[in-house]
Copies of this chain bind each other. A is one copy, B any other.
Amino acid sequence: MNISALLTSAGINITLSVALLWLYSILRKQPSLANVYFGHRLAQVRSKHHNPFCLDSLVPSANWIVKVWETSDEEIFATGGLDAVVFLRMVVFSTRIFSIAAIMCLFLVLPLNYFGQEMQHKQIPSESLDVFTIGNIKLRSRWLWAHCLALYVISCCACILLYYEYKSITKMRMAYVMGSRLNPSQFTVLVRAIPWSSRESYSTSVRKFFANYYASSFLSHQMVYRSDTVQKLMIYVRKLSCPSIVVVTKILLASSESDAEKIYKMLKSNPMDQHCGLSFMRCGLCGGTAKAFKILSSEPESANGRREFANPDLREKECAAALIFFRTRYAALVASQAMQSSNPMLWVTDLAPEPNDIQWTNLCVPYRLLWIRRTTTLLSSILFMVFFLAPVTIAQATAFQQQEEVFCLILSAGRINIMNFYVREDFDPAGYRVSTKCDIDAISIFTGTAIERLGKISSAKSIPNQLSRAVPSAATFFMTYVLTSGWASLSCELMQPFALLCNLFDRFFIRNKDDPSYGSYSFPYHTEVPRVLLFVLLGFTFSILAPLILPFLLVYFFLAYLVYRNQILNVYITKYQTGGLYWPIVHKTTIFSLVMTQLIALGIFGLKESTVALGFTIPLIISTLLFNEYCRQRFQPIFRSNPAQVLIEMDRTDEQCRRMEEIHQQLRSAYCQFTSTSCKPYEAVDLNANENRDDDRLQDPEDMALGDKSRAHGTQVEFSHLGIEEVNMK
């Protein structure tokens, strides 16, 4: 490939991207597509009327870019939360470091590469791309010190930038923790593996244990129940509001009297469910069919035995897991960190997940089986990755022209597979997925370039050499990869083709006049973080080997900044906040890319027999690893647990402001197992006022349990983060 071919390819891709952006600027003005391009805004302001059609909506404009550019970080934080801010910081970091790398490499390294051999140069447009890589430098050339210098500058700048990013994100996270005063998970501990006793129920055991050992701080507890048919039935009943009384009648007629009794008891057992139960009974009463319920509701309610089940039938449904609420955040932290019993596999405590992050079905898995599941998952993922290497190697064996498509295909396949694979198991979804995705991408790069001739690698010693031989030759491929896959993915992200097609299909074939509910997805961090990290890896590894890739990458990152900002502001809603928990993974992966770059450079310097450059690179690698270790010591603990000092201060402030009682009240109803609107438990009471609103806020909890949170489903889910904020404002 020569320069003119590269420029042609770039031209085609630029034209395509500009065309798509242009199309987007028209489409976003169409009122009928508002739910595709303004899902987030619509979720906030549902009552707005559609604007009538006007000609102005067909004129393309760059207004949206200006708007996106002018948006402040505070607005991003208010819209997308800390996760969105951290994601954009990652993009900004990439832009910065590759700007520096571009300056260093285009003005220092590139000319040296070009004049590296004493040869007759052709005219630049018809020059081969290989002339611009480090491959063009002579053996034992004195100019390799320039590459070494560039490597030093890039590494140092990357480390300095990474340090300040980590520092500022840590600060933001602390502010986030201190700001989320009403986060119920801070007060709650999840206890598993409650020992079974024939004399008393799990509930009694839990109450006795915590009242005994945590007498001063124990507030209350909530058992986790196995979901069986009755509970499933209840979910269906709850999903239906009064108007659809026919279905309620049908369900009630179908269920036996004993089932009705179970439902009634279940409703009584939970304060949240009590409210729902009232409304449900109202439904039942207005239909006049639920005889069984009328009988049951006349039974007097026991005073304090609300959570106590003398009934062995209900006791059987208890899982060996419970949520324990404490009076203070610090007490919850303490209880979560200590090993409770002398058998470490009993009374296992951990800080509870946030109400929206909890997967109730997973909590019922016996703790002694959990480690087997974890081990199986780990083994399967290793096997998966091993078998994932094979197709990539096959792809390498095919012709270069076909390679790109195969590669992209495999990447996508890998993405889909890995998503299906992990989506059920994940408890801390963002973290787990991101890390696995990163691994997969890193491995695909690895295989795509380094293990090109797998059979030829004779010993571990020669791996750097093999890597360094393989990487420059792959530079051209990855340059086109950035041009096509990188830029195209951003346009795709902007256009939302899947949602667009769904919308069109819905409108023209089903002729659904209502606002369709798809379009409100949460930001796909699990695919976008690894994608950006893959380009960071590409950028680092090729920066001093083939600097021509850097301008294309810079364009990608700049475009990514605009596109993702726009999407966060307009399209995606925030279902779940990790509070920037995934930054350590980003940091680690960037360091991995950096060390990989240095190792490849080491190999190249070895091949070029430049001992001075070789000698100078080794301390650089050691320093980078030490820097990583330092950051791990200095910042990572903050992402693992909250500092005692901060929690104690928060507790004190709340006590001084006499807010604690209020928080304790809200705590009791924060976690609801048999409802999908976990953060707004009291809304269901006022049925007549909110029925429409509740209707489309409800989501099938079974879907949730199966983990189908991905955008492909298109079900609309409640915007929990906002929910928390609303509670905050009370």
Q: Which residue numbers of A lie inside 8 Å of B, CB to CB?
A: 174, 213, 333-334, 337-345, 347, 371-372, 375, 457-460, 626, 629-630, 633-638, 641-646, 648
Contact = CB atoms under 8 A, between A and B. Distances in A.
A644 B339 contact: yes
Given A344-B638, A626-B372, A648-B213, A339 B643 contact: yes
B342 A645 contact: yes
A340 B375 contact: no
A626 B378 CA distance: 12
13 contacts: A174-B342, A213-B645, A213-B648, A338-B644, A340-B643, A342-B646, A344-B636, A344-B638, A344-B643, A371-B633, A372-B626, A457-B459, A458-B459
Contacts of A648: 213
Nearest to A333: B338
A371 B629 contact: yes
Contacts of A372: 626
B344 A634 contact: yes
A457 B458 CA distance: 9
A644 B344 CA distance: 11
Contact of A341 (B334, B337, B630, B645): B645
Given A213-B648, A372-B626, A637 B458 contact: no
A169 to B, nearest CB: 13
A372 B338 CA distance: 29
A163 B438 CA distance: 38
A341 B648 CA distance: 11
Q: Is the interface of A mostly helix, strand, loop or mixed?
A: helix
Nearest to A648: B213
A340 B330 CA distance: 11
Contacts of A371: 629-630, 633
A638 B341 CA distance: 9
A79 to B, nearest CB: 26
Instruction: Identify which of A347, A636, A642, A644 gathers the most chain B CB atoms within 10 Å of its CB.
Output: A644
A458 B458 CA distance: 6
Contact of A645 (B340, B345, B459, B637): B340
B344 A334 contact: no
Nearest to A459: B458
Contacts of A174: 342
A164 to B, nearest CB: 15
B638 A342 contact: yes
Contacts of A213: 644-645, 648
Given A337-B337, A644-B338, A644-B340, A345 B633 contact: yes
Contacts of A459: 457-459
Given A334-B334, A459-B458, A648-B213, A341 B629 contact: no
A641 B339 contact: yes
A499 B635 CA distance: 52
A74 B196 CA distance: 34
A695 B636 CA distance: 50
A637 B348 CA distance: 11
A372 B632 CA distance: 12
A334 B342 contact: no
Contacts of A638: 339, 342, 344
A471 B91 CA distance: 55
A637 B344 contact: yes
Given A344-B635, A344-B643, A457-B459, 18 more contacts: A213-B644, A213-B648, A334-B338, A337-B338, A338-B641, A338-B643, A339-B637, A339-B642, A341-B643, A341-B645, A342-B645, A344-B636, A344-B638, A371-B629, A371-B630, A372-B626, A459-B459, A460-B460
Contacts of A339: 637-638, 641-644
